[in-house]
Chain A
Amino acid sequence: MRIVIDPEAAERGIRRIAGAIVERARGAGDVCLVGIRRGGEPIARRLALAIEQLEGQKVPLGLLDIALYRDDAATALPAPRLGRSEIPFAVEGRRVVLVDDVLFTGRTVRAAVDALLDYGRPRTIELAVLVDRGGRELPIQADYAVRAVEVGVGERVDVAETEAGLHAVVLAQGEPTS
């Protein structure tokens, strides 16, 4: 097991991303965050808090479940975990930042973009992740990443939330989740 992000690095990285998001539009303005369930949820919550601390203004936070939009939905039915999406604001015309824990093949993000468009037509959609581990199968990239890591064939990246904060580790093939 190789630790790639510890709680302190996660906090620092998320603060940095919050700054970059605000910087891009010169203020938090009409930005809203949408976490991809379930991995993106704790990261989106922390990012919302970091932007609020920076700008003194609350950022709308939604959660998106993409099980119904997977490109293997019809052959891998039913999805093992079907959760509810909660988007308590109109995305129409807004600047949306999608948030996930690990960016790998890009298929989850593709599904999330499709799902989001069924809620309305945002002005822009950006992507923020905790770990970019490479290995893309679709032409998708992150606008903001706390850390990019090299991951070998067969290895996987696990993100966990404990009381201390967020941890990201690289596990060898077959190594149990810590």
Chain B
Amino acid sequence: MTESLASRLSQRHLLGTETLSAADALRILDTAEVFFDVSRRPVRKVPTLRGKTIVNVFFEASTRTRTSFEIAGKRLSADVVNFTSSGSSVSKGETLLDTVHNLEAMRPDVLVVRHSASGAPHYLSSRVRCGIVNAGDGTHEHPTQALLDAFTIRRAKGRIEGLTVTICGDVTHSRVARSNAWLLTALGARVRFAGPRTLMPSDTSSWPVEVFDRVEPALEGADVVMVLRIQRERLSGALLPSFREYSRTFGINERRLGLAAKDAIVMHPGPINRGVELDGAVADGPRSAVLDQVEAGVAVRMAVLYLLCAEPGQAAVS
């Protein structure tokens, strides 16, 4: 049955968008539409993943992403457990692999992993039997963020193909920028990066993007303006003279937004540094899709968990 084959992802893990096929990405987005509806009903829960266990394994601080995954799992009736590294055996010197093997011995179906080391989820995926979802690894990838961004764009614009998406800010440290660049180009969008040279990777030649070191030309005609957070915790003073300086030359405000398409939407993965990378009036304005992104996050993560909880080797029949 070809339909049942097409209904599952071609891989057991979601590690990044660079290795995600366009067909798998569309399968996730289409499935998320169903769960988006579920989250707007009076009873925002379906019994589908009853008896499944999902563990959020977060070695790095996060409230939004962890909460979003937790709500997503609970709306599918899975049991969701949160593991945070502070106050755990990690602080007693346990290695990452030992920690994860211990969690795996409790027989979860999916581990949702966030780690400050790029590649950590990929490393774990070849060493565990359960599914792994990358919830952000260092400066590498954050696939569910890119998928929820794609979902938000598709709902707002009716399509992704042919759109111009400008991603501006601290690209070097941004896993959101990387995951979006791969995903959105695979889905047919044109992606532009804009930011100060010091915050742009030294070699972007292998990336499917157009790079600008000034924000104005990058904004011209853009359908989507995606603003990245200036990551204070990852920046050393040498890369950026001051936040005021950054805001003056790269911050997105009403005036700069005027260069984009008339119906352009503004996105931000959060948390926002108001008045630094994004003006407060724009963030709260009619073109802001920031809260739509958060709502989409739950639907997209429900879709990912649903599709990854398939029993290995068991074909679904209607």
Q: In the complex, what residues of B have CB within 8 A of residue A85's CB?
A: 34, 37
Complex-state Cα separation, A154 to B309, whole angstroms: 32
Contacting residues of chain A (111-147) with chain B, CB-CB under 8 angstroms: 114, 117-120
Q: In the complex, what residues of B have CB within 8 A of residue A76's CB?
A: 311, 314, 316-317
Establish whether residues A74 and B42, one from each chain, have CB atoms under 8 Å apart when the complex forms.
Answer: no
Complex-state Cα separation, A82 to B31, whole angstroms: 7
Establish whether residues B37 and A84, one from each chain, have CB atoms under 8 Å apart when the complex forms.
Answer: yes
Shortest beta-carbon distance, A73 to chain B, in Å?
5
Q: Which of A76, A77, A119, A120 has the most CB of B within 10 A?
A: A77
If A73-B47, A84-B33 are given as contacts, then 12 extra A-B residue pairs at C-beta distance below 8 Å, sorted by A number, are: A65-B34, A68-B34, A74-B49, A74-B50, A74-B309, A75-B314, A77-B310, A78-B310, A80-B316, A83-B34, A118-B43, A118-B45
Known: A68-B48, A69-B46, A118-B45. A77 touches B306 (CB 8 A): yes
Known: A65-B34, A119-B42, A120-B42. A80 touches B4 (CB 8 A): yes
Q: In the complex, what residues of A have CB within 8 A of residue B311's CB?
A: 75-77
Complex-state Cα separation, A79 to B310, whole angstroms: 9
Instruction: Assess whether A26 is interfacial by the CB under 8 Å rule.
Output: no
Shortest beta-carbon distance, B216 to chain A, in Å?
41
Complex-state Cα separation, A80 to B3, whole angstroms: 6
Contacting residues of chain B (20-52) with chain A, CB-CB under 8 angstroms: 31, 33-34, 37-38, 41-43, 45-52
Shortest beta-carbon distance, A85 to chain B, in Å?
7
**For residue B2, which residue of chain A has the nearest CB?**
A80
Interface size class on chain A is: 20 to 34
Complex-state Cα separation, A85 to B46, whole angstroms: 13
Instruction: Assess whether A81 is interfacial by the CB under 8 Å rule.
Output: yes
**For residue B307, which residue of chain A has the nearest CB?**
A78
Shortest beta-carbon distance, A110 to chain B, in Å?
12
Establish whether residues B309 and A118, one from each chain, have CB atoms under 8 Å apart when the complex forms.
Answer: no
Among B7, B47, B307, B317, contact of A68 (Cβ-Cβ < 8 Å)? B47
Instruction: Assess whether B206 is interfacial by the CB under 8 Å rule.
Output: no
Among B50, B51, B52, B306, contact of A78 (Cβ-Cβ < 8 Å)? B306
Binding site for A on B (CB under 8 A): 1, 3-4, 7-8, 31, 33-34, 37-38, 41-43, 45-52, 306-307, 309-311, 314, 316-318
A sample of 21 cross-chain residue pairs with beta-carbon separation below 8 angstroms, ordered by A number, consists of A65-B34, A68-B47, A68-B48, A69-B46, A69-B47, A73-B47, A73-B48, A73-B49, A74-B48, A76-B317, A78-B307, A79-B7, A81-B7, A82-B31, A84-B37, A85-B34, A85-B37, A117-B43, A118-B41, A119-B43, A120-B42
Binding site for B on A (CB under 8 A): 65, 68-69, 73-85, 114, 117-120
Establish whether residues A82 and B34, one from each chain, have CB atoms under 8 Å apart when the complex forms.
Answer: yes
Q: In the complex, what residues of B have CB within 8 A of residue A77's CB?
A: 48-49, 306, 309-311, 316
Complex-state Cα separation, A65 to B3, whole angstroms: 16
Establish whether residues B47 and A114, one from each chain, have CB atoms under 8 Å apart when the complex forms.
Answer: yes
Complex-state Cα separation, A14 to B38, whole angstroms: 32
Q: Which of A78, A81, A85, A119 has the most CB of B within 10 A?
A: A78
Q: In the complex, what residues of B have CB within 8 A of residue A80's CB?
A: 1, 3-4, 7, 316-318
**For residue B310, which residue of chain A has the nearest CB?**
A77
Complex-state Cα separation, A120 to B318, whole angstroms: 27
Establish whether residues B37 and A78, one from each chain, have CB atoms under 8 Å apart when the complex forms.
Answer: no
Shortest beta-carbon distance, A177 to chain B, in Å?
13
Shortest beta-carbon distance, B36 to chain A, in Å?
9
Shortest beta-carbon distance, A55 to chain B, in Å?
29
Q: In the complex, what residues of A have CB within 8 A of residue B41's CB?
A: 118-119
Complex-state Cα separation, A68 to B316, whole angstroms: 13
**For residue B49, which residue of chain A has the nearest CB?**
A74
Establish whether residues B7 and A78, one from each chain, have CB atoms under 8 Å apart when the complex forms.
Answer: yes
Q: In the complex, what residues of B have CB within 8 A of residue A117's CB?
A: 43
Shortest beta-carbon distance, A172 to chain B, in Å?
20
Q: In the complex, what residues of B have CB within 8 A of residue A114's CB?
A: 47
Known: A118-B45, A118-B46. A79 touches B316 (CB 8 A): yes
Establish whether residues A82 and B7, one from each chain, have CB atoms under 8 Å apart when the complex forms.
Answer: yes
Q: In the complex, what residues of B have CB within 8 A of residue A119's CB?
A: 41-43
Shortest beta-carbon distance, A170 to chain B, in Å?
19
Among A69, A74, A81, A118, contact of B318 (Cβ-Cβ < 8 Å)? A81
**For residue A83, which residue of chain B has the nearest CB?**
B34
Complex-state Cα separation, A114 to B318, whole angstroms: 18
Q: In the complex, what residues of B have CB within 8 A of residue A75's CB?
A: 311, 314
**For residue A90, which residue of chain B has the nearest CB?**
B42
Complex-state Cα separation, A114 to B46, whole angstroms: 10
Q: In the complex, what residues of A have CB within 8 A of residue B7's CB?
A: 78-82
Establish whether residues B46 and A68, one from each chain, have CB atoms under 8 Å apart when the complex forms.
Answer: yes
